[in-house]
Structure 1
Amino acid sequence: MSSPIQDLDYLIIPLKDILKATNHFSNKNFIRQGGFGKIYKGKLLRSGELIDIVARRLDGKYDQGSKEFWTEVSMLSRLKHTNLVSLVGFCDEKNEKIVINKYEAKGSLDHYVTDPTLRWTKRLEICVKISHALSYIHYDVGRDFSVIHRNIKNSKILLDDNYEPKLAGFELSMTTVASQRGRLCIDYPCGSTGYVDPTYANTGSVTHKSDMYSFGIVLFEVLFGTKAITDNRDIKLAKEAKSRYENEQLEDLINPYLRTQMAGESLKIFSDIAYDCLKECRVERPSIRTVVMKLEKALEIQRLQEKKALKEEIAATREKLDKNEKTPFIIYPESRSKSKIFQMLNQRSGKADYRHVLQEKINQLQGGNPILDIRAFERAFSDWKKASCFELSMTTLASQRGRYVSIILVVALYDQGSKEFWTEVSMLSRLKHTNLVSLVGFCDEKNEKIVINKYEAKGSLDHYVTDPTLRWTKRLEICVKISHALSYIHYDVGRDFSVIHRNIKNSKILLDDNYEPKLAGFELSMTTVASQRGRLCIDYPCGSTGYVDPTYANTGSVTHKSDMYSFGIVLFEVLFGTKAITDNRDIKLAKEAKSRYENEQLEDLINPYLRTQMAGESLKIFSDIAYDCLKECRVERPSIRTVVMKLEKALEIQRLQEKKALKEEIAATREKLDKNEKTPFIIYPESRSKSKIFQMLNQRSGKADYRHVLQEKINQLQGGNPVRLFFRY
């Protein structure tokens, strides 16, 4: 097989791998019919990792070597932007032409344009980000070519799990020399009915302003909550939108629920730029740079309006609370569980700290009323006596869709005038990093000091350190990311100050749904001048027993290397599967770890199940750097930059080892399958359901396509024997 485009061999994916990924293009994997063929989803093994993909299979009615296929591959292999669809690879084999993209879980924007639960602010964000993608393909200064998309429409905008948009559909795109991007290009008209620039359709002359027309249609779809093409019929959205705009009747077409969310000025800026995109004379249409600027302004105004409305709502809620000292102000749509809530609240009504605002703001969806998540409410109050913070889940019901959306806030309570309160607020307002906890806001009012952070669903690392199901690779990833967070607060070159955390421990490392770690607990932190970050600072010792640097505890002198000691304790906790503080007792983990390390007995302390997962060299690098962090002489402790480098190396080696082991296991499994053509090879730890398994397998044994390996590997839990089920489908 040879490709008409050179140097793309690294993107070639064998047809057999695609067939396996899509289950031979089964109907269960079918997504929809695209403009050039059918589209399928699947799971593709790539570089040792199983990834979700979309396979776009060119229809047989298009000629072999189709221009559109190679245009798509060529464009996506050269264009890289966070809001462009990702090219995984392609296949040009046995009369099959297939483009493989990363799967975006929410599908395309056309499924959401008419959905009123996609709120106005989110719609604005999607439009802003797609405008950035268009600006990149039109004008990126790092390239010698510019791209005209020629097929912009809502079905070419894909959305990931977080509604992050990705521009797709480059099969009709064309390039121009970057220095001549303003000139006309002549080509046979293409695009989609309802979106294509009329001047291009009538004359065959196309410019970047043709993309602006198509994007203008998308903007009006997003604004109105209406599709330009309904039941395969062009509703002439451009004509209708322009007429209503010119007669100041635009609001008649906007979904009423969406209109209630829009700030007036935001709406005006948005509709103005959308209208300008549809101007008949292309010269009068704005450039994408102007569109980006206008859309960003509309979004900024919208957010300011929402922030103002939120403050007013909070103030109104507090006013109601002030008038009703003993009973919190709660809104709910029905009386179910009302008595239970009030029973719980009345039990707390005599407490001095009872005036906290429990419900400040919840999302509102069409037809939905706010309700309280009763179980979260119970947990919040039952834990109140035990901790200085609690979690409260606020839930909104979207009656149209029958689904719930929850926002959970963590509220920390401080003493009036507390230094720690202002330290926390000051630090988190100035520090922004993907692995630092996010500050939502704070309150300092009527003897109340409250810090609001984004809720991280998995809680803190201390709940998982002793859990052997938190695998070694995931532990390494957590440590690497927290080291990046520490490197940022210690050394970020963009700031004139450096931060010493002073309270690093496992309970200050929060984990989101995907075990992405967030460093928290900045109430004890302190700053130094960036140029003097290596000097001693004198302050009253603080921190947590079992984690605090002994030199700091004894002398009151602290440096960034004090954070390294505390982080070293966390590293050994992660390594051993043991907590430094157990039942409120310091188990002297540092002393024990150092002793075992120096006597080459470290493995005696590692959880055996974790040890079986560790690559030897990865373990050595990890334990070496953890030991160095605990050195008594602070000068001998590594800097955070060294720690980052070592931990990344340990993680890299671990991943390579796992990849190698996986390949060997798959090879061994296939070898067993080849020796056993008719009987599946099964290993299981007990005999239960054996007969049922064999009954199922025997029903399949005569099939010609029975040789595919359907299950290669399953998770192994502590104390359990691996169950590997291999059979031919």
Structure 2
Amino acid sequence: MEDIKNQSLQAQLCRQFSISDIELATHDFDEEFVVGRGGFGKVYKGTIKIGDTHVVAAIKRLHSNSSQGASEFWAEIEMLSKLRHCNLASLIGYCNSRKEMIVVYEYMPQGTLEGCLYKGGTTLSWLQRLSICIGAARGLDYLHTGTGTKNGVIHRDVKSSNILLDENYAAKISDFGLAKVGPINQTNTFVSTGVKGTFGYIDPRYFYTNKLTRKSDVYAFGVVLFEVLCGRPAVDTSLDEEQWGLASWAQDRVREGKLFQIVDRSIRGQLKADCLKEFACVAVSCLHTYPNHRPTMAEIVAKLEFALSLQNKMGPSSTKSKISNKIRSFFRDKNLMPFCFSINGLIDVNLKEVLSKPVGSVGSLVDAGYESGGDLVHFEGGFEFTLTELINASTKFLNENPFWRTYVAYLPDGPKVVVKRILTQLSHKKFVSIVSALGKIRHPNVLEPKAYYWGRGETLVVYKFTPNGSVSSLIQSSKNEGWSIPAFGWSLKINIIRGVTRGLFYLHTQKKMVHGDLKSSMILLDEQCNPMIANVGLSQLMPATPRFRNNCAPEFVDSANATTEIDVYGLGIVMLEILTKESTYKSIHPIDLPTWVRSVPTDKWFNEVCDMKLMEENVSNRNMLVKIIRLALQCVEYDPKARPTVQNVLSRLEQIEV
């Protein structure tokens, strides 16, 4: 039986290590290399050899007295061999020799969420905690909806110690030893099984009935959400008895109107009231007595993202600048504000001298004036403005992520421009090299930068302003009356799809560039509703970071491994969103958009899948519409090799008559 299992796992590219490999990696299981302990045994940090490469790995050794045994060991190995998602811990291999059962994972340098919250680890900001929750929820949603397997997976041991954090504090669900596989075609499907899990996280309904459902994971995730908010364990027997269990205590405090009092003291000054209320509502809903009243993980992802958007409305002045501890820029929480620099008194910098420096030109040595504060460099084909005009312009805050903030700047007596303030620490050489290459892009469907600024404490990239927003906003806003753009009908839809594909083809073939984050919010519309791919190349300015989005290709881990196949996957998602006018996750379906479209018979696509506007227009060639949907589904195939090239996609789209 073991040989059969071994052969199966080998076929799934799961590496089998010898015990000597493991002993070498852990220095014969030296205690100095132990980085974690649990009911299963110990976890070691070791460097293991794979071919000619040495990889830092987390090596979990099952103790002979562990409550988990061979069945849990093989369950975890087989499960992780099939699953691939940026929010799941990646399996490297295993060892089953000399009565040793060992699992080898990718190493997570920031440890566990539990460790960071209340075991002496790094103190997490509220935004970090919120992002971690969203990432973990995405991983669980992937498990529940069966995206990577024929059946859904119930984790059965969701807890903060099983949420690992990589170097960028991105969440990864781990420990699948207790996981169960079950059908996903029925919402109320359950698996009859003995109760297993961790005290404090176990769903009471599961405990009393032995009926395990996906909503049991949702309950446990609700406990994790309160751990994140309160900064205390699921069970704490050092407190008064009525406060031992976090789930019941937190819910009682919320009902009593004492929500703010339970917030972890280290983050109280960081939360916006609306965000706190939304987050608490999600946590409480997860803990509902009746499983059917608990949200799905897809719904939780959407609600947490909404909470994040509420938090971001605080304005970037509420968070510390990541660029410099000596020179900072503050953008106040107003619709219009001066685009100005605030100088810390510790540094002797004459700001007027910085602002009066002459505007640079293409190819100028921007570092010539760096010691005085920096230089503004324009690219050919752009409109010129001085650094003084840019800095004195009024601005409107648009959005932010961990790597940059985006503003609209209103230049005096001139056009509006979009300014991105880069928040990550970059070397001058790397920044100029990347942005200079982007300034050479010339294509009607790609948004290229018009200028950049590098100076003390500030790194800026300036773009042309696109007045009609993004395709994402068009999809959402066109559902409402009063939309200023002409009808979002067949002609406009196909022109946007073609334009995006042309722009992507240009990047892949002419510039040898991969976007790495193509989605509908990255496609902007100019005055004539011509689509322009935005944020090209910006992924190169940020550290390798796991993706946190629904249209993430299953093999995509971070910006460092972006490929043309990943861009094609993103293109397919955009095509489906445009044709169905639905968001990436269907609100009425606990499954992703491609899975939902595939679930509908082809002969019903026009009536049940397509945007109602296309039905009202009575598109003459319905077969052509079906072909485009089929093409989009090919772009989002799970196997990257099964996806067409962007050249093939463009060739087939160009044959369509509007």
Aligned counterpart for 1:259 among listed residues 253, 268, 289: 268
Q: Which amino acid aligns with 2:429?
A: S
Deviation at 1:283, TM superposition (A): 2.0
Deviations 1:495-540 (A, max 9, x none): x61468899xxx999xxxxxxxxx998889xxxx997999xxxxxx
Question: Where do residues 529-540 of structure 1 align in structure 2 (5 Å cutoff)?
Answer: none
Deviation at 1:560, TM superposition (A): 10
Q: Distance in 2 between matches of 1:200 and 1:113?
A: 27
The DSSP-based 3-state class of the residue aligned with 1:121 is helix
Q: Which amino acid aligns with 2:307?
A: A
Aligned counterpart for 1:306 among listed residues 315, 327, 336: 315
In structure 1, stretches of 5+ residues that fail to align are: 332-337, 357-383, 393-409, 464-477, 510-518, 535-558, 566-640, 642-729
Deviations 1:130-188 (A, max 9, x none): 11111110013453201111111100000011101100111111000222452221111
The DSSP-based 3-state class of the residue aligned with 1:200 is helix
Aligned residues, how many? 442
Q: Distance in 1 between matches of 2:338 and 2:372?
A: 20
CA contact (8 A) 1:224 1:253 kept: yes
Counterparts in 2 of 1:411 and 1:254: CA distance versus 1, 3 Å:
farther
Q: Which amino acid aligns with 2:275?
A: S
Q: Kindly indicate whether structure 1 or structure 2 has the higher relative contact order, using CA contacts under 8 Å at least 6 residues apart.
A: 2
Aligned counterpart for 1:149 among listed residues 148, 155, 172: 155
CA contact (8 A) 2:383 2:450 kept: no
CA contact (8 A) 1:501 1:563 kept: no
The DSSP-based 3-state class of the residue aligned with 2:37 is strand
Residue in 2 aligned with 1:75?
79
Residue in 2 aligned with 1:603?
none
Deviation at 1:50, TM superposition (A): 1.2
Residue in 2 aligned with 1:25?
29
Q: Which amino acid aligns with 1:164?
A: A
Deviation at 1:442, TM superposition (A): 7.0
Residue in 2 aligned with 1:129?
135
Aligned pair 1:330/2:299, yes or no? no
Q: Distance in 1 between matches of 2:440 and 2:383?
A: 29
The DSSP-based 3-state class of the residue aligned with 1:100 is strand
Deviation at 1:306, TM superposition (A): 2.9
Deviation at 1:452, TM superposition (A): 3.5
Deviations 1:171-230 (A, max 9, x none): 111000222452221111010111111222222221111111110100001111212234
Deviation at 1:249, TM superposition (A): 1.3
In the superposition, the TM-score normalised over structure 2's length comes to 0.56
Counterparts in 2 of 1:181 and 1:48: CA distance versus 1, 3 Å:
farther
Q: Distance in 1 between matches of 2:235 and 2:67?
A: 28
Aligned pair 1:387/2:345, yes or no? no
Aligned counterpart for 2:384 among listed residues 418, 433, 444: 418
Question: Where do residues 50-65 of structure 1 align in structure 2 (5 Å cutoff)?
Answer: 50-62=54-66
CA contact (8 A) 1:106 1:161 kept: yes
Residue in 1 aligned with 2:188?
182
Deviation at 1:80, TM superposition (A): 0.8
Deviation at 1:231, TM superposition (A): 6.8
Aligned pair 1:205/2:205, yes or no? no
Residue in 2 aligned with 1:238?
247
Counterparts in 2 of 1:33 and 1:3: CA distance versus 1, 3 Å:
farther
Residue in 2 aligned with 1:167?
173
Q: Percent identity?
A: 27
Q: Distance in 2 between matches of 1:231 and 1:70?
A: 34
Deviation at 1:387, TM superposition (A): 3.2
CA contact (8 A) 2:143 2:154 kept: yes
CA contact (8 A) 2:158 2:201 kept: yes
Q: Distance in 1 between matches of 2:7 and 2:313?
A: 50
Counterparts in 2 of 1:561 and 1:487: CA distance versus 1, 3 Å:
farther
Counterparts in 2 of 1:232 and 1:3: CA distance versus 1, 3 Å:
farther
Q: Distance in 2 between matches of 1:253 and 1:385?
A: 50
CA contact (8 A) 1:389 1:413 kept: no
CA contact (8 A) 2:36 2:44 kept: yes
Counterparts in 2 of 1:268 and 1:487: CA distance versus 1, 3 Å:
same
Residue in 1 aligned with 2:614?
none
CA contact (8 A) 2:404 2:420 kept: no
Q: Distance in 1 between matches of 2:333 and 2:187?
A: 54
Q: Distance in 2 between matches of 1:109 and 1:134?
A: 15
The DSSP-based 3-state class of the residue aligned with 2:21 is helix
Counterparts in 2 of 1:224 and 1:64: CA distance versus 1, 3 Å:
closer
Deviations 1:59-91 (A, max 9, x none): 113599711101110111111110000000011
Deviation at 1:308, TM superposition (A): 7.4
Instruction: State the Cα RMSD in Å.
Output: 5.3
Q: Distance in 2 between matches of 1:271 and 1:523?
A: 38
Aligned counterpart for 1:460 among listed residues 425, 429, 453: 429
Counterparts in 2 of 1:117 and 1:446: CA distance versus 1, 3 Å:
farther
Q: Which amino acid aligns with 1:418?
A: E
Residue in 2 aligned with 1:48?
52
Counterparts in 2 of 1:220 and 1:172: CA distance versus 1, 3 Å:
same
Aligned counterpart for 2:96 among listed residues 92, 95, 106: 92
Aligned pair 1:497/2:409, yes or no? no
Question: Where do residues 327-476 of structure 1 align in structure 2 (5 Å cutoff)?
Answer: 330=344, 341=347, 344-345=348-349, 348=350, 351-353=352-354, 387=368, 412=376, 418=384, 441=407, 452-460=421-429
Deviation at 1:5, TM superposition (A): 5.6
In the superposition, the TM-score normalised over structure 1's length comes to 0.51
Aligned counterpart for 2:223 among listed residues 188, 207, 217: 217
Deviation at 1:4, TM superposition (A): 3.3
CA contact (8 A) 2:190 2:211 kept: yes
Q: Distance in 1 between matches of 2:440 and 2:151?
A: 36
CA contact (8 A) 1:128 1:295 kept: yes
Aligned pair 1:102/2:106, yes or no? yes
Counterparts in 2 of 1:488 and 1:176: CA distance versus 1, 3 Å:
farther
